[in-house]
Amino acid sequence: MARVGFIGLGNMGGGMAANLAKAGHEVRAFDLSEGALAKAEERGCKRAGSAAEAVADAEAVVTMLPAGKHVREVYESSVIGHAPKSAILMDCSTIDVTTAREEIARAASQGYAMVDAPVSGGIAAAEGGTLTFMVGGEAEAFARARAFLELMGKAVIHAGGPGSGQAAKICNNMLLGASMIATCETFVLAQKLGLDPQTFFDISSQASGQCWSMTSYCPVPGVGPTTPADRDYEGGFAAALMLKDLRLAMEAAQSVDSYTPMGANAEELYTRFAEKLGGAGKDFSGIIRMIDDSWTSPRSSS
């Protein structure tokens, strides 16, 4: 069993660190939040006094932080030069492709092997150890990271070289955001044309319009499997996080001069829903309420 330094014990990192501890690893955990640290301790992790202390003599390091600037700050101030060079470094946060590539290159220049390994799956998947990891990095680094990532997920996929995990993640979520909006506006139109939503689901889920946003995550309450729509759009994947990922996708698209009109529209619509109409904390499928003009706002409905 290995010594693992784990930094970032929030909604996602808390469950992931606990799963590594449950598998028998010695997890030295650090977070700026005292509450998060105390909870990790209760769940089998050892408390570290700082990020640098968490990674000192670690064989593996996992970070699960909010955004690129946090990742850069933590790696440059507390990981590189503090963890042993033999440690495999895994950043599981969702961050911009450019920062991921720069940090992996900086780590490599100091003799470290590092991968970007963002996840698909929300808080329940982090708790249950059923995340999907999309990993970017050299083949050898991937092979070393895999042994740890497998303890926190159901699938660990090598996406390509450094930054490819982040590229796969934002491309997937750009498709998801756009397909969710298309699903929402389709159901609203179907209803206005007099179709029963369940009947339309039964037809379209077996016809060429079928997609994950409809069949696995239907935004209409009472239709299809149980989803956040059946809980007033609580829980699930917050619209604020979808917006974060769409912004990362648009930034990446611009950097390679890729034409992404549907992604741009999705970003604009989620900005309106999350930031102007107060839907940030709602599940991203809650955007159907913005598209349905009988809707008021998440604030006034809760």
- Nearer to ligand NAD by C-beta: 35 or 209? 35
Does residue 133 bind ligand NAD (CB under 6 A)?
no
The residue number whose beta carbon is nearest to ligand NAD equals 10
- Which of these is catalytic: 169, 192, 244, 282? 169
d(CA 217, CA 66) in angstroms, rounded, equals 25
The nearest distance, CB 68 to ligand NAD, in angstroms, is 9
- Nearer to ligand NAD by C-beta: 93 or 186? 93
- DSSP of 19-43: HHHHTT-EEEEE-S-HHHHHHHHHT
Does residue 11 bind ligand NAD (CB under 6 A)?
yes
Q: Residue 244 catalytic?
A: no
Out of 89, 190, 241, 288, which residue is the one contacting ligand NAD (CB under 6 A)?
Answer: 241
**Residues of span 48-67 touching ligand NAD by CB under 6 A:** 51, 64-66
d(CA 18, CA 25) in angstroms, rounded, equals 10
d(CA 251, CA 111) in angstroms, rounded, equals 30
The nearest distance, CB 259 to ligand NAD, in angstroms, is 25
Out of 25, 29, 31, 101, which residue is the one contacting ligand NAD (CB under 6 A)?
Answer: 31
d(CA 109, CA 114) in angstroms, rounded, equals 11
φ and ψ at residue 224, rounded to 5 degrees: 75, -160
**Single-letter residue type at 248:** L
Task: Report H helices in 110-260.
Answer: 123-128, 139-149, 164-192, 197-204, 212-215, 239-255
Cβ pair 135, 165 in contact under 8 A: yes
Out of 12, 135, 180, 239, which residue is the one contacting ligand NAD (CB under 6 A)?
Answer: 12
Give the per-residue contact string, 195-224, with ligand NAD (x = CB under 6 A; - = no): ------------------------------
**Residues of span 94-123 touching ligand NAD by CB under 6 A:** 94, 119, 122-123
d(CA 21, CA 44) in angstroms, rounded, equals 6
Q: Which residues contribute to the site for ligand NAD (CB under 6 A)?
A: 7-13, 30-33, 36, 51, 64-66, 70, 73-74, 93-94, 119, 122-123, 237, 241, 244
Catalytic machinery residues: 169
